[in-house]
Amino acid sequence: MWTMRKKVLLSVLLAVSVSAYVEQLDDSFLETRTADDIWLIKFYAPWCSFCKQLDPVWHQVGSELKSLGSPVNVGKSDATASTGLAKEFRVRGYPAILMWKKDVKYNYSGPRTRDGILDFANRVGGPLVRSLSSPKLFQHAMSRHDIMIVYVGATSPLKGNFTSAAEELIVHTYFFSASRDVLPKRLFQVVSLPSLPAVVVFKDGTFFTFNEEVDGDLKLWITRERFPSFLKIDSYTLYAMGETGKLVLLALVDRGLSEEGLRFKRLVEKVSTDHRETYSRSFYFGFMDDSEYIKGLVMDDVIVPSFIVVNLSNDGYFLPPVAVETERHLLDFLDGVQEGSLETQGGNSITQRVRRFIYDAKTTLQPVFSQAPVLGFFLLGVPVCLTAVFCFLCLKKRPTVYEEDEDDDGDGVLLASSVQRRKKPTDKKSD
């Protein structure tokens, strides 16, 4: 009995200690915050199941940041009660994760995982542009980041543009600055660095330099280059890729990665590496082992393994016209998409939106009907009954009675009974 009490007491103390790292915020936060504070805030609703699932992760994030001595404070706010705070941060859905730093608000749209949220907090909560002052520090940064976007050189208008881009895109990737002397010498054997200043992206074991004449706007170039040439893609990453305007070539594979699935994956990876110069401006490359998102996009079951090119800007997609067995087949497929000879399927037209709404409703209700038929009929029947009653009442109040009067010419005129009629004065006989 005493052992059980000790366990309960220990659990309560642990919960209290963990909760101490996350502060409950209300509308008074708008008056008490200071300009130098950095806050990571989760907005939730008491009835939101996803918010409840995120709660243990959120306390882990608060504990981890506190133990690391991070300047980031962690809080949470009931958006249904603290409506002023939710309005200030323009909260539209739950749970919403945002960071407030020096009067700038940053929205987190990545996976709701401990590591994903911690990376966001450390990236946005730290310096906007991190200085790499030695080759050792540069190598350390490269070992930790798959993508590094670096400004090289002294102060210049290009650096101002680089800093402006970092203010907006820090939610997605890290930004660094360095002198030419600290860059790894081995990389310059592959690509020569042009005259300084320069903006360079390091990824895939090499680097690529920004050229304004060819690449256009710096911010758009960084947005396009902030993903590796080939990677495992989930729904969050795929959504983020849609913001760049590029198409995405996907190998849809099974979770166990069968031999055939592995062949599809390697084929996409080979094309992304060997033909980068031809396709990198138009395509991202990757593989997915969860096809649920793609099922919703094409509104049908998908074959695994298979290939698909996705256009996230308009919810369109392309499928190979013939079976892809070789690299040449895959290149022909990409050429057809790039040149416009292949017709786009899907899209976001009104017809497609209606179809997608019906598909989503069907996929949502089907499991309910199979597992709980009574609940399914209730969920479907109540809206149908309410709609029927509403239509009946509308029809009942609709004017249906008409009165026929005669005009001066004797023609019949139909007057709706719902229109208030003036009473005719009584004719009096003249004396």
pLDDT digit string, tens, across residues 289-324: 988 888 888 888 888 999 999 998 888 999 999 999
Q: Is residue 413 part of a domain?
A: no
Q: Is residue 397 part of a domain?
A: yes
Q: Is residue 240 part of a domain?
A: yes
- Which pLDDT value is given to residue 317? 94
**Are residues 136 and 80 part of one domain?**
no
Rounded to the nearest 5 degrees, what angle is found at the Cα of 302, between the Cα atoms of 300 and 304? 165
**Are residues 233 and 218 part of one domain?**
no
Given 182, 199, 225, the domain boundary residue is 225
For residues 288 and 286, give the distance between their C-alpha atoms in angstroms, rounded to a whole number: 7
Q: Is residue 3 part of a domain?
A: no
What tokens does 363 get?
A: 């996929």
For the chain, how many structural domains are there in total? 3
Q: Is residue 426 part of a domain?
A: no
What tokens does 100 get?
A: 């407030």
Q: Which position has the higher pLDDT, 76 or 10?
A: 76
Inter-residue contact 342 to 284 (CB < 8 Å): no
Q: Is residue 61 part of a domain?
A: yes
Nearest of 190, 72, 62, 49 to residue 122 by alpha carbon: 72
- Give φ, ψ of 252 to 5 degrees: -85, 115
**Are residues 388 and 251 part of one domain?**
yes
Across 181-190, 227-236, 318-327, the highest mean pLDDT is recorded for 318-327
For residues 30 and 100, give the distance between their C-alpha atoms in angstroms, rounded to a whole number: 11
3-state secondary structure 87-102: HHCCCCCCCEEEEEEC
pLDDT in tens, 58-88: 999 999 999 988 899 999 999 999 999 999 9
pLDDT in tens, 369-427: 565 565 555 555 666 677 777 776 777 665 554 444 444 444 444 444 443 444 444 44
Q: Which sign does the torsion angle of CA 184, 190, 192, 196 carry?
A: negative
Task: For the chain, give the mean pLDDT.
Answer: 81
60: domain range? 18-110
Angle between helices 157-169 and 218-225 (to 10 degrees): 50
**Are residues 295 and 205 part of one domain?**
no
**Are residues 296 and 370 part of one domain?**
yes
Q: Which residues are catalytic?
A: 48, 51
CATH number at residue 186: 3.40.30.10
Please, which residues have CB within 8 angstroms of residue 243's CB and are 6 or more apart in sequence?
A: 223, 312
- pLDDT band of residue 336 (cuts 50, 70, 90) is very high
Least confident of 33-47, 141-155, 185-199: 185-199
